[in-house]
Chains A and B, each alone.
Chain A
Amino acid sequence: MSKRRSDWESRPQARIRKWYKEGFLALDNEIINHLTQTTQLPLHTEEEVVAQQEAMSTRQRERTLALERLDQYNMLTWARTRGRKAITRLHVILALALGAMMIFFLLETVAQMPRFGDPATPGANIVSERYITKGLEETGATNIVSGMILDYRAFDTLGEATVLFVAASAVLILLRIDRNKDGSPVQELIAAESDDQHYEPRNDRILQGSAMVLVPTIFLYGIYIILNGHLSPGGGFSGGAIISAGLILYLDAFGFEKAGRFFTYKTFTWVSFFSLMFYALAKAYSFYCGVNNLPSGIPLGMPGAILSGGLIMPLNIAVGMVVACTMYIFYALFRKGGL
């Protein structure tokens, strides 16, 4: 049997049932009692009549006000609870419908696009042909991708490196906890320090032991990838990410104090400043020479040798340093708001 609600008595079904079973009197006995009681009072003087009328009208006014307020309150609670829930639900449904529609249309479009890897695809045109056939000759880089991003389309890559720089600066704005003017730490910084000491591993022998072995290897590997960027797959972006992984591992194993001996906020500023400035100036010089048909005087070298490819290797180093510093400072900022 289903559970009866606690306000069953006052619901219309129950009232109808009561009326059906017990007739009119049983339903409205209370009202009748009330009516008979209130009209019993005898009235003596005019003043009393006026006073009573006033009292009644005041009561009436208060009652209407109270009812209005109750209505308002009910409406507001409805808006706050159920209404909001309904709107959220509507938003979810609309978002899902929109998402499903977009997925459908985009898949439909992709189905109409040229097939990937098809030799007749529009992508196989004079542009990629020159990159592939003349890339080595014109850029001196055995790795065509490096030659493309750092020579043919070097301006875009300058933009990409700047994206990293601007992202690092934006995160610094958002997360770095400033010190007071006299250099003493603020309360927030002290709290972050203590949180960090509490939650992060300290003097973990296993971690430190493996870091001792892994960190130098990771650094070497990263440096190899950066330096070899113009010869084999790799380059500044990937090598820099690997070096930053080594830095982060070192920081995790040995803590901020030891890492601070060779990498502080100043290191970050100066390294990223020098690498990006070098990139911008080198490219400005090379663009200027290129567009004005001046000889740039940068030798391309023997293809395949480590010192070849013109500006590509130095630019790869610059990009790698920026990437490594940026990733490391992201980690440090997210961990405790500074180095």
Chain B
Amino acid sequence: MTFVYNFPFFCILLCMAAGIFTSILKQRTAKILTFAVSAVVFILSALTLRLTLQLDEAYPFMMGHFPAPWGNEIRIGRLEALMATGFSAVILISLIAGMWHTHSFVSEQKTNLYCIMIDLALAAVLVLIYTNDLFTVYVFIEIMTIASCALVVVRQNGHTLVAITRYMIMHLFGSGLLLMGIAMLYGITGHLLMMPLQEAVGNIVKTGEHLGPLTVVIALITAGLAIKSAMFPFHGWAPDTYAFAPPLSSAILSGIISKAYIFVLIKFFFRVIGLDVIVTQQITPFLFVCGVSGMIIGSIMAISQQDIRRMIAYSSVAQIGYIYLGLGIGTKAGVEAALFQMLVHAAVKSLLFLSTYELINVSGDHKHFRYLHGAGYRNVPAGIVFTIAAMSMVGIPFTGGFIVKLNLAISGIAIGGWVRALVLIALALSTLLNSVYFLHTVVSIYRKPTQKLDYPEVQKMPPYVAAALIVSTMLIIYLGIGSEPILRVIETGLKTFS
């Protein structure tokens, strides 16, 4: 085994060690270390992606001296490497664009603690992407839940405390369901590693023994992860959390962390249970209905908001709906579209939260639309970036959002029947609603203010922030124009995924 094969393992250990090391650092060095770690993780993940593109199969990697059913294991394939690369790129860009204003949300003595949370959240995301062990999933979901709570509550006011209380309750409920599901699955199969589990589950389906508990397990784990990723009827915690957390935290939470849960769900569906069993157990129609209603109701809620950050938070609920729509279609094509949407939404949503902060910042710290008039002229790069991100959200061609909607529509059409009709209607309706509120926002940031607005002078946005935002925008456009290779990686990766 050559040295390159170890890179994912290095990424995980590096993030964890950096988190531990940051606890003794001062503010400035802590920030620099966090940047450095995310940059190194990005480079190593990209190299891993290159390696896996040359390999035909995914390769397992022992975490210890003992092989699969006994010791922990991670498994590295194209899809995992692609997700790790995409997510670490988004985190790196968010850090560059978002770290400069943390001092207005985080007190100086707590900055290093904040950096710990970012490092450990990144570690948890990487582990959830790579792991091949269901119990490791649970342990690192715990880390991720605690870290994300701290990321929100680091800004201490009444709003965040209320939001985080709700967040904690919902997420602990989700974790509880997940843990119960894992325990029951262990009870009926006797395994925790995913490959032996697949075999054991296949036996259960074949013989029919313990089939009832298996259905309950699937329901529990799906519900737990759906709650944690803000699927529509369980989205109650999301808007307040995203709207009041520091912008960098919102970007990481809604861009990356909620996607990691969905990736675990996809891994559970494909690698542990098998997509055909999921379809025959009637889980996919449930996800489909939740996805469609989330797309529409999330957008309607977003239209009724007066506060720009709450609006973006509700649109996040709608966008998560797209992912669950793709999963709910229940074919490989649908899941591919969902995976692509995960990448696109991670890039777009983090960009939206960060550029919105810049717009708010030049408008006297007001978040209501009527104060934002003319913000696009006061901060030109942020305005342009916001507009392009909004275009991607609506699904204008040449942006990532268009490809997502196209692929969802294609995979829906292939099914036929009422699914086809529902997918098309939902996509059309949701596009219409998306364009209503994003057009409204873009118009209001480019509208000449009716009276002379006297906003206090603020610190100018550093040029490297503008550069990071523009790089991220180019990423979105790249996802729209050059989506073909990425889609092919997702397709071939999904073949070797299970």
C-alpha spacing A296/B136, complex, angstroms: 24
B143:A166 contact, CB within 8 angstroms: yes
Q: Is B377 an interface residue (CB 8 A)?
A: no
B136:A155 contact, CB within 8 angstroms: yes
A170: chain B residues at CB < 8 Å are 117, 146-147, 149-150, 153
Q: What's the least CB distance linking A294 to chain B, in Å?
A: 11
A125:B190 contact, CB within 8 angstroms: yes
C-alpha spacing A114/B188, complex, angstroms: 7
**Could you say which of B65-73, B260-268, B421-429, B434-442 contacts chain A?**
B65-73
Known contacts A122-B189, A123-B186, A272-B23; A162/B64 CB under 8 A: no
A122:B200 contact, CB within 8 angstroms: yes
Q: Is A93 an interface residue (CB 8 A)?
A: no
C-alpha spacing A88/B109, complex, angstroms: 41
Apart from A127-B190, A286-B65, what 10 extra A-B contacts exist at CB < 8 Å? A113-B210, A124-B190, A151-B64, A151-B66, A162-B143, A163-B142, A166-B147, A170-B147, A176-B109, A287-B62
Q: What's the least CB distance linking A102 to chain B, in Å?
A: 9
Listed in ascending order, the chain B residues whose CB lies under 8 Å from chain A are: 1, 6, 9, 13, 16-17, 19-21, 23-24, 61-66, 69-72, 107-110, 113-114, 116-117, 120, 123, 127, 133, 135-136, 139-140, 142-143, 146-147, 149-150, 153-154, 156, 180, 184, 186-191, 196, 200, 210, 212-213, 216
10 A-B pairs closest in CB distance: A290-B65, A159-B139, A170-B150, A122-B190, A155-B72, A155-B63, A123-B190, A109-B216, A125-B190, A276-B20
A173:B154 contact, CB within 8 angstroms: yes
A166:B117 contact, CB within 8 angstroms: yes
Listed in ascending order, the chain A residues whose CB lies under 8 Å from chain B are: 105-106, 109, 112-114, 121-128, 130-131, 138, 151-156, 158-160, 162-163, 165-167, 169-170, 172-174, 176, 178-179, 181, 269-270, 272-273, 276-277, 280-281, 284, 286-293, 296
Q: Point out the residue from B17, B63, B153, B212 that lies within 8 Å of A277, measured CB to CB.
A: B17
A156: chain B residues at CB < 8 Å are 72, 133, 135-136, 139
A276: chain B residues at CB < 8 Å are 20
A281: chain B residues at CB < 8 Å are 17
C-alpha spacing A276/B216, complex, angstroms: 38
A172: chain B residues at CB < 8 Å are 110, 113
A160: chain B residues at CB < 8 Å are 139
Closest to B123 in A: A162
Closest to B14 in A: A284
A284:B190 contact, CB within 8 angstroms: no
C-alpha spacing A113/B191, complex, angstroms: 15
Q: Point out the residue from A128, A176, A292 that lies within 8 Å of B110, measured CB to CB.
A: A176
B213:A109 contact, CB within 8 angstroms: yes
B71:A280 contact, CB within 8 angstroms: no
Known contacts A122-B200, A176-B110, A178-B109; A287/B139 CB under 8 A: no
Q: What's the least CB distance linking A123 to chain B, in Å?
A: 4
B191:A125 contact, CB within 8 angstroms: yes
C-alpha spacing A126/B19, complex, angstroms: 37
C-alpha spacing A151/B213, complex, angstroms: 31
A152:B71 contact, CB within 8 angstroms: yes
Closest to A290 in B: B65
Q: What's the least CB distance linking B29 to chain A, in Å?
A: 14
Q: Point out the residue from B62, B66, B143, B212 that lies within 8 Å of A159, measured CB to CB.
A: B143
6 sampled A-B residue pairs with Cβ under 8 A? A155-B72, A162-B16, A163-B146, A277-B20, A277-B21, A293-B1
B150: chain A residues at CB < 8 Å are 166, 169-170, 173-174
C-alpha spacing A127/B20, complex, angstroms: 32
A284: chain B residues at CB < 8 Å are 13, 17
B1:A292 contact, CB within 8 angstroms: yes
Known contacts A113-B213, A280-B16, A291-B6; A269/B23 CB under 8 A: yes
A159:B110 contact, CB within 8 angstroms: no
Main secondary structure of the interface of A (DSSP, over half): helix
B64:A286 contact, CB within 8 angstroms: yes
A162:B120 contact, CB within 8 angstroms: yes
C-alpha spacing A286/B13, complex, angstroms: 12
A109:B71 contact, CB within 8 angstroms: no
C-alpha spacing A288/B216, complex, angstroms: 38
A124: chain B residues at CB < 8 Å are 190
Q: What's the least CB distance linking B66 to chain A, in Å?
A: 5
B24: chain A residues at CB < 8 Å are 269-270, 273
B70:A152 contact, CB within 8 angstroms: yes
A162: chain B residues at CB < 8 Å are 16, 19-20, 120, 123, 143
Q: What's the least CB distance linking B272 to chain A, in Å?
A: 15
B200: chain A residues at CB < 8 Å are 122
B187: chain A residues at CB < 8 Å are 113-114, 121-123
A290:B62 contact, CB within 8 angstroms: yes
A273: chain B residues at CB < 8 Å are 20-21, 23-24
Q: What's the least CB distance linking B356 to chain A, in Å?
A: 24
B70: chain A residues at CB < 8 Å are 127, 130-131, 152
A174:B188 contact, CB within 8 angstroms: no
Known contacts A123-B190, A162-B120; A174/B146 CB under 8 A: no
A166:B146 contact, CB within 8 angstroms: yes
C-alpha spacing A336/B54, complex, angstroms: 57
Q: What's the least CB distance linking B334 to chain A, in Å?
A: 29
Closest to B74 in A: A155
Q: What's the least CB distance linking B182 to chain A, in Å?
A: 12
A290:B64 contact, CB within 8 angstroms: yes
B184: chain A residues at CB < 8 Å are 109, 113
Most A CB within 10 A of own CB, among B72, B117, B133: B72
B213: chain A residues at CB < 8 Å are 109, 112-113
B109: chain A residues at CB < 8 Å are 176, 178-179
A293: chain B residues at CB < 8 Å are 1
